[in-house]
């Protein structure tokens, strides 16, 4: 836990709060006799804390942006993909407590579980050190690392754009293939390619299969536009 605290840049007064943020429901269900509770309530609180901190950050940074733009940027900043990346940077998956079935099913690398655990950790810091401690952590691991051009890029759905472009002609078939997955579990890199009528038109990488397919679609769009 001390290593995780170092990665968070925060030392807990009560380390049990951090431990509680790492109990997945599958683990809690298998250890009911020990009085262990899942991190779901913390996830609920962490989602609210993250939303408040992010909204405050954007409100102050962009005094001229309308509500719709602020909402759009906030949604991109706090999406599952962003939180999954935070979890990977912290190697949070190594510290999760999972039930046997979830462990065997690859839950330690599942984006949704890691994203939820990230919100739970935010809540644990909030309960242990208050809003300013949580704000400092969220800025350190998420907000201060984001460039808004990256956020807007992330919100583009290249797979949909490519599908719409291809559908302008009849009898066109798109297919995505996973080419490879490499690296340690907490920083795995996936490579995917997209094929049009069986012919590869783009390849891309990402920290999840979804992200790799989006990158491949982006490359495929560029190929078709050039062609």
Annotated binding site for Mg(2+): 43, 116, 119
Distance set, CA 154 to CA 35, 41, 63, 157, 158 (Å): 41, 29, 23, 8, 9
Q: With CA atoms as reference, report the closest residue to 22 among 11, 33, 38.
A: 38
* CA–CA separation, 178 and 115 (whole Å): 23
Q: With CA atoms as reference, report the closest residue to 194 among 182, 184, 185, 206.
A: 206
> What is the separation of C-alpha 70 from the centre of its chain, rounded to a whole number of angstroms?
20
Decide if 119 is catalytic.
yes
- Among the options 81, 85, 102, 119, which is catalytic? 119
* CA–CA separation, 227 and 223 (whole Å): 6
Decide if 47 is catalytic.
yes
**Helices marked H in 62-192 — which ranges?**
67-77, 80-90, 100-104, 111-129, 131-141, 148-155, 158-166
- Among the options 19, 47, 103, 146, which is catalytic? 47
Catalytic residue numbers?
A: 47, 119
């Amino acid at each position: 836990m001390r290593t995780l605290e170092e990665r968070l840049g925060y030392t807990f007064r009560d380390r049990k709060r951090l431990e509680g943020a790492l109990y997945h429901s599958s683990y809690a269900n298998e250890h009911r006799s020990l009085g262990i509770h899942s991190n779901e309530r913390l996830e609920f609180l962490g989602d609210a804390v993250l939303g408040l901190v992010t909204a405050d950050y954007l409100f102050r940074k962009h005094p001229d942006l309308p509500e719709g733009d602020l909402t759009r940027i906030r949604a991109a900043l706090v999406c599952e993909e962003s939180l999954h990346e935070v979890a990977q940077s912290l190697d949070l998956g190594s510290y999760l407590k999972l039930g046997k079935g979830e462990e065997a099913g690859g839950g330690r690398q599942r984006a949704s579980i890691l994203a939820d655990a990230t919100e739970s950790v935010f809540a644990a810091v909030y309960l242990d050190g208050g809003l300013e401690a949580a704000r400092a952590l969220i800025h350190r691991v998420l907000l201060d690392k984001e460039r808004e051009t990256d956020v807007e890029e992330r919100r583009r759905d290249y797979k949909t754009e490519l599908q719409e472009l291809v559908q302008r002609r009849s009898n066109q078939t798109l297919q995505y293939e996973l080419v490879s997955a490499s690296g340690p579990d907490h920083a795995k890199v996936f490579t995917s390619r997209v094929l049009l009528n069986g012919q590869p038109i783009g390849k891309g990488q990402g920290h999840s299969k979804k992200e790799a397919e989006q990158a491949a679609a982006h490359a495929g769009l560029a190929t078709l536009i050039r062609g």
